[in-house]
Structure 1
Amino acid sequence: MPNNTAFEQSDTVMPHTPSSVTPSSAVPESVTIVEVSPRDGLQNEATLLPTETKLELIDHLVASGLRRIEATSFVHPKRVPQMADAEAVSAALPRGEVSWIGLVLNERGLDRAIAAGLDEVNIVVVASDTFSRRNQGTSTDEGVDLWNRLAKRASDAGLKTTVTIAAAFGCPFEGEVPTERVADLIRRCSDAQPDEIALADTIGVGVPAQVVALADAARREAPGIPLRWHFHNTRNTGYANALTALQLGASALDASLGGIGGCPFAPAATGNIATEDLWYLLDRSGCATGVDPAVLLSGARRLGEMLGTTVPGQLSRAGLFPPVELPPA
């Protein structure tokens, strides 16, 4: 059953207004973390986890208190073999507390997401033509047209809709992406009345000044639509960008347990910002997330065992401050 409260904001979250976009030194009292490790995290890992192991990971995430989780993507298994079990994962998801998100790229993907009974769909429009063709086989303009069709169908089926504008901070093939181009895409995509717009630094090239410029563009072109941000830490700017977005009134921030992930179709697109590291930044800044750090860190360590590697996130190695003895993974 779709969760119709997933996008409701509490009175403690900074509202979206068309006023000044200069970051405040203060942060909102709370923000939503959207967990993407089961999808964006695992899709770029060489290790193919079996369905039951993915569900163990998801159990850790739910137990930690995360309540919006991108569980899978409905894409062709030959293109992204890590997501070949999307239906099996969806069928086993615990329902009731979490709003479950699926990424879709085309009509067939949306058919599968609706049949799987997910609560939300994340539909991607890529800001550059070259990357769009490599990622989805369409031009950017074709991607906007597709978004408009899919958004209506998803909404009619009772699913919440997010349009993610990928490569909004830069393209691995074309280089700089002008703010004006992203602003135009925001305006055109807002015509379909998404429940949320997400701006993605898909290859981790963005800096806080770009966050400010894009937040200004979003407020100008799509006033009142909640704004979500997706950052990678490829060049160690992801957390600075997240803090800037938070100060500008972000409704949600994406993160991936352990900092795993990236885009398999973008060269050198390394991991997302780590959920546990983001939690530490937010918590020490006075911003509540509803997440239990002990369970989160236990999950990050267990994820490293699942993948047979050390996850990129720092907090699972450095530990909490002040020091706290944590349970085993």
Structure 2
Amino acid sequence: MTIDLPNKVTIIEVGPRDGLQNVSVFISTEAKLQFIDQLKKSGIKEMEITSFVSPKWVPQMQDAEDIVWHSLDLNTRTIVLTPNRSGIQRARLSNCQEIALFVGVSNTFNQKNINRTTAQATEELLPLIKELKEQGVFVRACISTAFYCPFEGRVEEKETIQLCKQFVHAGVDELSVADTIGMAAPHESYSLFSKLTTLFSTTLITAHFHDTRGMALANIFAALQAGVSRFDTSAGGIGGCPFAPGASGNVATEDVVFMLERMGIQTGIQLPLLVQAIDVIAPHLPKPISSSFYTLYSKA
């Protein structure tokens, strides 16, 4: 059987932002910058580097301005997450040219996180997207709970597609569609991403899988078959969903790169240098790195 797969895949590294935002102990700005720098050296060309959020609620991201000041360069798409107009203003004052916004498909998920329904959150974000596009900013829309919600259970595929459609019509450059709690199975991944890549062929479609139940690599393979060639991953598998205590969370960049390269799919990332990036951040984390490739590589 012949499987039509891409020859090349783009990895969007989310470790410095999604990976570190929930770490209980504050990681120094210097350590974060060393981590980001080594990730770039490994071949990463797109990366979420920080969030412009309230330090009160996310103290780990209190050094966002410093991170941006030292990390922006012409060779890397350095993305920052912003929850609202205030965050966008801070990001723009820091000269950020790539901005991510986020909303969940699930009403309960949004109400628990941002005290808004999905409709209210979307209504607030759509005008901001228009303003950003008028300023020439690259806009990434992060769609959470695209498959399952920790409060409502299964999310209907048509609801995810309808929300994505609103953001595409608003002019976003990219949709990052997330299996937030790692519940999706490969057939669900294939089904949703087949529809998204067909409906929104001129928009960058990125798959964001969590490995909470060990299905991330299988879901990535299914998404590849559905026409996806962009994936969010986190070096060392750090970070993850706060609604699944003890879960492994984000799929590990090194595991994904190893799988893709073994399949003959180019990523442009050098695994030995990626391991060095993980070595930089690992001593600062409260838990040891447990990704398959990193564990085996460390023992070799």
- TM-score (norm: length of structure 1): 0.86
Aligned ranges 1:88-103 → 2 under 5 Å? 88-103=66-81
Q: Which amino acid aligns with 1:126?
A: G
- The reply to whether residue 191 of structure 1 matches residue 169 of structure 2 is yes
- The reply to whether residue 248 of structure 1 matches residue 229 of structure 2 is no
Q: Kindly state the Cα deviation for residue 312 of structure 1 after the two structures are TM-superposed.
A: 2.6
Which residue does the alignment assign to 1:32? 10
Contact in 1 for aligned 2:190/2:225 (Cα 8 Å): no
Which residue does the alignment assign to 1:158? 136
- The reply to whether residue 130 of structure 1 matches residue 108 of structure 2 is yes
Contact in 2 for aligned 1:204/1:238 (Cα 8 Å): yes
Q: Kindly state the Cα deviation for residue 308 of structure 1 after the two structures are TM-superposed.
A: 4.7
Aligned ranges 1:1-329 → 2 under 5 Å? 25-219=3-197, 221-264=199-242, 266-268=243-245, 270-319=248-297
Task: Evaluate the alpha carbon distance shift between residue 91 and residue 202 of structure 1 in structure 2; reply closer, same or farther with a 3 A threshold.
Answer: same
Q: Kindly state the Cα deviation for residue 170 of structure 1 after the two structures are TM-superposed.
A: 0.4
In structure 2, the residue corresponding to 1:52 is in which secondary structure?
helix
How many Å separate the matches in 1 of 2:98 and 2:72? 15
Q: Kindly state the Cα deviation for residue 130 of structure 1 after the two structures are TM-superposed.
A: 0.8
Task: Evaluate the alpha carbon distance shift between residue 220 and residue 146 of structure 1 in structure 2; reply closer, same or farther with a 3 A threshold.
Answer: farther
Unaligned runs of 5+ in 1: 1-22
Q: Which structure is higher in helix share?
A: 2
Q: Kindly state the Cα deviation for residue 224 of structure 1 after the two structures are TM-superposed.
A: 2.5
How many Å separate the matches in 2 of 1:24 and 1:45? 43
> What are the Cα deviations for residues 236-280 of structure 1, in whole angstroms up to 9, with x where unaligned?
00111111112222131000010010244x343642000111110
- TM-score (norm: length of structure 2): 0.94
Task: Evaluate the alpha carbon distance shift between residue 24 and residue 205 of structure 1 in structure 2; reply closer, same or farther with a 3 A threshold.
Answer: farther
Unaligned runs of 5+ in 2: none
> What are the Cα deviations for residues 49-108 of structure 1, in whole angstroms up to 9, with x where unaligned?
011111011011011010101000111111111111111111111412111101111111
For the aligned residues, what is the CA RMSD?
Answer: 1.9
> What are the Cα deviations for residues 261-314 of structure 1, in whole angstroms up to 9, with x where unaligned?
0244x3436420001111101100111111111110122233221215311311
Contact in 2 for aligned 1:73/1:104 (Cα 8 Å): yes
Contact in 2 for aligned 1:190/1:222 (Cα 8 Å): yes
Q: Which amino acid aligns with 1:48?
A: F
> What is the aligned residue count?
299
Deviation >3 Å, runs of 4+: 267-270
Identity %: 36
Contact in 2 for aligned 1:228/1:251 (Cα 8 Å): yes
How many Å separate the matches in 2 of 1:118 and 1:252? 22
